[in-house]
Amino acid sequence: MTGIHAGRVAVVTGAGRGLGRAHALALAAEGARVVVNDLGAGPAGQGASADPARLVAEEIRARGGEAVAHGGDIATDEGARSLVATALETYGRLDALVNNAGFLRDRMLVNLGEDDWDAVVRVHLKGHFLPLRHAAAHWRARAKAGSVPEARVVNTTSGAGLLGSVGQANYAAAKAGVVALTLVAAAELARYGVQVNAVAPAARTRMTERVFAEAMAAPEDGGFDAMAPANVSPLVVWLASADATGVTGRVFEAEAGRITVMEGWHPGPTADKRDRWTPGEAGTAVRELLAGARTEGPVYGAEEPGQGL
């Protein structure tokens, strides 16, 4: 196999469907041997099935690539540990981890039950942390043994985590957490040859095809299918490759034919009394500072800018 992943081994979580499947196929097309993880869960995280991961691994092999299926739950320590072990035991190495698995349980905040909070934060945030931790332990050991890897992690965040999203407090909080995890991991793991970035995708999958049916629909005229999940994969494949040297701790939005660097929190206007404020003084200062501050973009789903803040 030739391509920018020739000789490399990649793990993709939640690769039995949607974006993860597209990433796995695209990585394999660039020469990666791929561990296709998927629990085969329902749209709200219910149940399990070995079929989605198995079918994608078969699809890669049918196209002449190399792949192995892994059906574990990546939000458990055993699932994440065995996922990394599958790459090492099957192919003898691990070069890239694409954290992608997850599901939604949307509710307005006042109706959001503890179970729906825990399940969504668990699958996205813990489900990113655990595979990352096990992969990082392997890469650190490799670096300490004198063979510094060109290792890459691509995490999956969301516009919901970057700007907020009405009806998705659990999901938005988890995806914002994925961004912070990305920044910390990039800073901590650079010395071991590991680069860590995050992508906020938008594409037609079972997560979006009904809620945003019109925006997600494929064109009937056979033109560019802007919302096909495969449009997000080239950026993921490049970030996961050795070619991406020097790019780390970044967040990108990827949708259709567009790639955007997302710029995060920056200090804006500031005031310093050099002594303790009274609450009234703090309020006056805040109003003056806000008058000179940039207005933040609207929260997704809010009726007007600032609503819901």
Ligand X SMILES: NC(=O)c1ccc[n+]([C@@H]2O[C@H](COP(=O)([O-])OP(=O)(O)OC[C@H]3O[C@@H](n4cnc5c(N)ncnc54)[C@H](O)[C@@H]3O)[C@@H](O)[C@H]2O)c1
Q: Which residues bind ligand X (CB under 6 A)?
A: 13-14, 16-20, 37-41, 45, 52, 73-75, 100-103, 123, 127, 156, 158, 200-203, 205-208
| Contact (CB, 8 A) for 28 and 36 | no
Specify the residue, 49 or 90, whose C-beta has the smaller distance to ligand X.
49
Burial letters for 42-69: b for 16+ Cβ neighbours within 10 Å, e otherwise? eeebeeeeeebbbbbbebbeeeebbbbb
Does 241 participate in catalysis according to the annotation? no
List 82, 91, 126, 158, catalytic entry: 158
Residue with tokens 């009274």: 278
List 165, 171, 192, 241, catalytic entry: 171
Element (H, E) at 182: helix 169-189
Tell me how far apart the alpha carbons of residues 181 and 178 are, in angstroms, rounded to a whole number: 5
Does 300 participate in catalysis according to the annotation? no
Q: Which residue is nearest to ligand X (CB)?
A: 18
Tell me how far apart the alpha carbons of residues 242 and 63 are, in angstroms, rounded to a whole number: 23
Specify the residue, 21 or 142, whose C-beta has the smaller distance to ligand X.
21
Tell me how far apart the alpha carbons of residues 57 and 73 are, in angstroms, rounded to a whole number: 17
CB of residue 177 to ligand X, shortest distance in Å:
12
CB of residue 249 to ligand X, shortest distance in Å:
19
Specify the residue, 31 or 45, whose C-beta has the smaller distance to ligand X.
45
List 91, 126, 165, 175, catalytic entry: 175
Q: How many CA atoms, within 13 angstroms, populate the side-chain half-sphere of residue 151?
A: 27
CB of residue 138 to ligand X, shortest distance in Å:
19
Tell me how far apart the alpha carbons of residues 12 and 62 are, in angstroms, rounded to a whole number: 18
Specify the residue, 75 or 135, whose C-beta has the smaller distance to ligand X.
75
Specify the residue, 224 or 277, whose C-beta has the smaller distance to ligand X.
224
- CA quadruple 71, 95, 190, 229: dihedral sign: negative
CB of residue 17 to ligand X, shortest distance in Å:
4
Tell me how far apart the alpha carbons of residues 264 and 280 are, in angstroms, rounded to a whole number: 30
Radius of gyration over alpha carbons of the chain, in Å?
21
List residues with catalytic annotation.
Answer: 158, 171, 175
